[in-house]
Structure 1
Amino acid sequence: MFLRSFVVMSGLFLTGVTMSVASHAETVLTPADQGWIARVQDAMNGVTTLEGRFQQVAPDGQRTTGRVWLARPGRMRFEYDKPSPLLLVANDGKVVFRDSQLDQTTEMPLERTPLGLLLAEHLSLSRDVTVTDFRHEDGILRVAVVRTASPGEGTLEMIFSAQPVALQGWIVTDAQGHRTQVMLTDLKAGRPLSPDLFVLPQGG
């Protein structure tokens, strides 16, 4: 059970604490690429709230599903479907991961996780992060970034639909090449969300 929780958690909590520093070269962007990236940035900065469902695929192939709520800046809730005992909540500058079956709670700064980029008050794809890859294929935009100040934390690849530009999910890759993918479905944007959704779990 602990290994299961760690695998699920690591894909969302990616940090540079135990990673070797990988080399991340800034990609050469065409004017068309830059135009799409500007649209992606504007789309993310236009998001206030989202709610829907997610499917997460861990590095070992394990699949989990659940509901997700997002309120920018700084708040998110991942509620895993039963029988999973897992819950993740971001608020107050931190991310708290709760395994109720193990009565175990893990906490870390939001800025040390990929969620910190997605939940930033203002996402800048030319200052806060370095774009290492951009692809536009079959109506899907993929923007891979590393934190400019700490590229060794790993890579976040954000996935968007192109028409309209809207967040569809992301892939986290650590310095060892382990990938965790999160895909979003049934998304509803701009609806009021209860503050109770983002109360940080206690215990453990």
Structure 2
Amino acid sequence: MRFCQRLLATAALVTLCGGATLAEDANGPSEALKSVPAVKATAVQGWTGKVATAKNEGIVLDDSQTKLVHDVSAYFGSLTNLKGAFVQIDSANKRMRGKFFVKRPGRFRFDYALPSRQVIVSDGQNLAIQDLDLNNEDRVSIDQTPFRLLLRKDVDLLRDAKITEVQHSDDLIVLGLEDKNPDAPGHIKLFIATKPTMELKEWVTTDAQGLDTRIEVSGLVQTDDLDGNLFKIQPLGPHRTTPN
């Protein structure tokens, strides 16, 4: 699937279709982002519960795990307007960085920092990957990506996702999930801090070859509003306008 290969090659943000990753950002992450420690499941002590063997329908959850999944659903359901910074780290430890914006339901934008000229934007119905250097674009329905699980109007992971892993320590939840919709393939592992408040820290996608790509986020701000123009899929070409 050409689109899926390009999507993972561009951002590794959505699904598991394999393909190469983008070249390393020559500047690396900003100093502010370098100071943010990576969240690693192997470094977390005091896990509660066990990781059950995954089946086609997901794992069997106990009561405490069910509550954790419900809490994560409520967290994503509470995010109306969100912005922050991200660092993308591929399996070869190559890094790219940029800024992202989210406006639920369904709208988001990832702007990669120079030297990349890549933009990923969803208008709530379609997701577009645009390469401004090559002047080309790929699109897919947002409902064909796992983003629909987390950014839909009514987030309910117990209803819509196959849960493959639930782990919990004093200050971190790790949640692995897949969309039950066969048209939205992909596995995502979420790392969510619980102290001082619940906040997304990173997610990891694993491609068909078993290679991981990690997206670390920082500087998250829940704002009152975001300009709707950020989420319009702009036409390519020499007269393209840039949202403020």
Q: Name the TM tier (shorter chain).
A: 0.7 to 0.9
Return the TM-score normalized by structure 1: 0.86
Q: Cα deviation per residue 1:41-93 (whole Å; 9 max; x = unaligned)?
A: 11111110110101111244321100010000010010111111111111141
**1:25, CA displacement in angstroms?**
5.5
Moved over 6 A (4+): none
1:198 aligns with 2:231: yes
Contact 1:93 1:109 (C-alpha < 8 Å) held by counterparts: yes
The alpha carbon displacement at 1:128 in A equals: 0.9
Structure label with greater radius of gyration:
2
1:181 is matched with which residue: 204, 209, 214? 214
RMSD, matched Cα: 2.6
What is the CA–CA distance in structure 2 between the aligned matches of 1:201 and 1:157, rounded to whole Å?
Answer: 31
Residue 50 of structure 2 corresponds to none
Q: How does 1:15-164 map to 2 (within 5 A)?
A: 24=56, 26-137=58-169, 139-150=171-182, 153-163=185-195, 164=197
Question: 2:85·2:99 contact (CA, 8 Å) conserved in 1?
Answer: yes
Alpha carbons of structure 1 residues 124 and 38: separation in structure 2 relative to 1, 3 Å: same
Unaligned 5+ runs, structure 1: none
Is the CA contact 1:89–1:200 (under 8 Å) kept in the aligned structure 2? yes
The one-letter code matched in structure 1 to 2:233 is L
Instruction: Give the number of equivalent residue pairs.
Output: 198
Higher strand share: 1
Q: Percent identity?
A: 25
1:151 and 1:16 map into 2 onto residues whose CA distance is 13
Do the aligned residues in 2 keep the contact of 1:75 with 1:198 (CA within 8 Å)?
yes
Long gaps (5+) in structure 2: 1-5, 20-53, 238-244
- Which structure carries more relative contact order (alpha carbon 8 Å, separation 6+)? 1
**2:10 alignment counterpart:** 9
Residue type at the aligned position of 1:193: L
Q: Quick check: 1:153–1:174 contact (8 Å CA) kept in 2?
A: no
Tell me the TM-score normalised to structure 2 length. Answer: 0.72
Give the drift of 1:29: 2.2
Change (3 A) 1:137 1:8: farther
1:33 alignment partner, SS class: helix
SS in 2 for 1:51: strand
User: Aligned equivalents of 2:156 and 2:199: distance in 1?
Assistant: 16
